[in-house]
Amino acid sequence: MPQIDSVRALTQLSEDEALFRDSVYEFADREIRPVVREMDERAKIPRALIDRLFGLGVMAIEIPEAHGGAGASFFHAVLAVEALSRVDPSVAVLVDVQNTLVINALVRWGHEDLQRRCLGRLAAGAVGAYALSEAGSGSDAFALATRAAARGDEFVLTGRKLWITNANEADLFIVFATVDPGAGYRGITAFIVERGTAGFTVGKKEDKLGIRASSTCELLLEDCPVPRASVLGEIGKGYKVAIETLNEGRIGIGAQMVGLAQGALDHATQYTRERKQFGKAVAEFQAVQFQLARAATELEAARLMVYNAARLRDAGEPFVKEAAMAKIFSSEVAERVTSLAVNLYGGYGFVKDYPVEKLYRDAKIGQIYEGTSNLQLQTIAKQILG
């Protein structure tokens, strides 16, 4: 197990890590920034851009090299999400779900044959999605109604999933269903379902406030056959797959919010240097300086919380409380910083010709998905109260 020598070790980037993060940001600045507005308006990430993300290596960060991936750490995935989010959080969440949820779950819970069948595809160009939420099970994730009935060497899945990120692009889906409704959460099981399976349909695409280019769709399962060999983890232990994967996924969302807020602060800082009022740059007014200083301070605190949680996870140390803290704090900071950026732009901040209104819209989801802020507070309270 890696040793944690100091707080400095948790929060400081090595030279290689800093170079990796910066290289991802340079890619995003060059390849993604020119098409951000178009993707937002069309509510779609072009397949050509997704292919370039695979070429960059950020869609298979934790996949072992033997399966075609980078064999890198969870922390590297967090750095990639942060860097991409400075430019477009929609692209970042595509990468985040692929790495911190789908690949993470397969590496941890998949048996050898399932990893062999799936990880190579996820490294080579297949997108993954994670299907837990339903109409009646959002925050109460284990109230799901999707059924998995045993039938010989397979299970037959029937139900409807909602709010599934990456659904339009995905080739492989981790779908949670219950094999025994009477057993409560102990009946929940995770399955790998492939696009094109009989009875499986990607349904309505949601028209969202923010992260519009990221697809969010319903899934329909009608007598959908899934081989027993496609069970992820153990039958009846899907709740463990869900809980442990989401605990890690929350760190990824924290990274998304940190990157998003950094992008907004970058824009606001530059704009206040250029915008002149009363004969001088807006940045010369102390009131503006103090607002930027406070935003930068809160953002740095959020970043360190995210890095700390990610380092703890990679070191095999307890991190559930730290992940929940990082997620709730970074999402609140992102909302405040993007709101400030809109304010500092004045009237220009309220129109789509300038970038900050989009980041303001994108920030709101951080307090909702992968566990609402109230659920994070509940988790933190349980941890500190024992």
CATH code (residue 378):
1.20.140.10
Last residue of a domain, one of 204, 236, 268: 236
Q: Is residue 306 part of a domain?
A: yes
d(CA 110, CA 150): 20
pLDDT digits (tens, 9 = 90+) for 271-313: 999 999 999 999 999 999 999 999 999 999 999 999 999 999 9
pLDDT digits (tens, 9 = 90+) for 348-381: 999 999 999 999 999 999 999 999 999 999 999 9
pLDDT for 59 beyond 70: yes
- Residue 9 is predicted with a pLDDT of 55
CA-CA distances (angstroms) from residue 269 to 9, 279, 313, 340? 30, 18, 33, 11
- Residue 281 is predicted with a pLDDT of 98
The reply to whether 28 and 158 lie within a common domain is: no
The reply to whether 212 and 232 lie within a common domain is: yes
Q: List, as one string, the DSSP characters of 296-357.
A: HHHHHHHHHHHHHHHHHHHTT---HHHHHHHHHHHHHHHHHHHHHHHHHHGGGGGSTTSTHH
- Residue 11 is predicted with a pLDDT of 67
Centre a 10 Å sphere on the Cβ of residue 121 and count the other Cβ atoms it contains.
Answer: 16
The domain that contains 199 carries what CATH number?
2.40.110.10
Determine the average pLDDT of the residues in 259-278.
Answer: 98
d(CA 145, CA 214): 26
- Residue 141 is predicted with a pLDDT of 75
d(CA 58, CA 283): 36
Average pLDDT, the chain: 96
pLDDT digits (tens, 9 = 90+) for 149-176: 999 999 999 999 999 999 999 999 999 9
d(CA 60, CA 70): 6
d(CA 268, CA 274): 10
353 within 8 A of 339, measured Cβ to Cβ: no
Q: Is residue 35 part of a domain?
A: yes
Q: Is residue 1 part of a domain?
A: no
Higher-scoring residue by pLDDT: 6, 259: 259
- Residue 200 is predicted with a pLDDT of 98
CA-CA distances (angstroms) from residue 333 to 256, 296, 304, 378? 12, 10, 13, 19
The reply to whether 122 and 143 lie within a common domain is: no
- Residue 138 is predicted with a pLDDT of 78
179 within 8 A of 145, measured Cβ to Cβ: no
- Residue 5 is predicted with a pLDDT of 47
The reply to whether 297 and 167 lie within a common domain is: no
- Residue 7 is predicted with a pLDDT of 45
- Residue 6 is predicted with a pLDDT of 46
d(CA 57, CA 178): 35
Say whether 159 sits in a helix, a strand or coil. strand
- Residue 142 is predicted with a pLDDT of 78
pLDDT digits (tens, 9 = 90+) for 319-348: 999 999 999 999 999 999 999 999 999 999
The reply to whether 228 and 243 lie within a common domain is: no
Domain holding 154, by residue range, is 129-236
The reply to whether 27 and 83 lie within a common domain is: yes
Determine the average pLDDT of the residues in 171-191.
Answer: 96
Determine the average pLDDT of the residues in 53-59.
Answer: 98
The reply to whether 230 and 291 lie within a common domain is: no
- Residue 278 is predicted with a pLDDT of 96
Q: Is residue 341 part of a domain?
A: yes
The label of the residue with tokens 């750490």 reads 73
187 within 8 A of 176, measured Cβ to Cβ: no
Centre a 10 Å sphere on the Cβ of residue 207 and count the other Cβ atoms it contains.
Answer: 8
Last residue of a domain, one of 201, 236, 271: 236
Number of folded domains that form the chain: 3
The domain that contains 59 carries what CATH number?
1.10.540.10
- Residue 3 is predicted with a pLDDT of 46
The reply to whether 92 and 214 lie within a common domain is: no
What one-letter code names the amino acid at 381? A
357 is catalytic: no
Q: Is residue 142 part of a domain?
A: yes
d(CA 316, CA 352): 44
Of 167, 161, 129, nearest in space to 148 by CA? 161
Q: Which residues of 280-301 are buried (b: 16+ CB within 10 A; e: fewer)?
A: eebbeeeebeebbeebeebbee
pLDDT digits (tens, 9 = 90+) for 108-128: 999 999 999 999 999 999 999
Last residue of a domain, one of 101, 127, 153: 127
| pTM, rounded to two decimals | 0.95
- Residue 272 is predicted with a pLDDT of 98
CA-CA distances (angstroms) from residue 158 to 93, 162, 192, 331, 350? 27, 14, 14, 35, 44
Which one is catalytic: 82, 298, 322, 370? 370
The reply to whether 133 and 119 lie within a common domain is: no
d(CA 190, CA 175): 6
The label of the residue with tokens 């390849």 reads 31
The reply to whether 213 and 306 lie within a common domain is: no
Q: Is residue 162 part of a domain?
A: yes
Query: Residue 352, exposed/middle/buried by CB under 10 A (0-12, 13-18, 19+)?
Result: exposed
The reply to whether 142 and 277 lie within a common domain is: no
The reply to whether 68 and 172 lie within a common domain is: no
Q: Is residue 268 part of a domain?
A: yes
For residue 335, is it left (φ>0), alpha (ψ between -120 and 50) or beta?
alpha
Q: Is residue 261 part of a domain?
A: yes
Count of helices and strands (H, E) across the chain: 13, 10
83-97, 120-134, 136-150, 166-180: least confidently modelled range? 136-150
- Residue 143 is predicted with a pLDDT of 86
Q: List, as one string, the DSSP characters of 64-130.
A: -GGGTS----HHHHHHHHHHHHTT-HHHHHHHHIIIIIIIHHHHHH--HHHHHHHHHHHHHT--EEE
d(CA 151, CA 287): 68
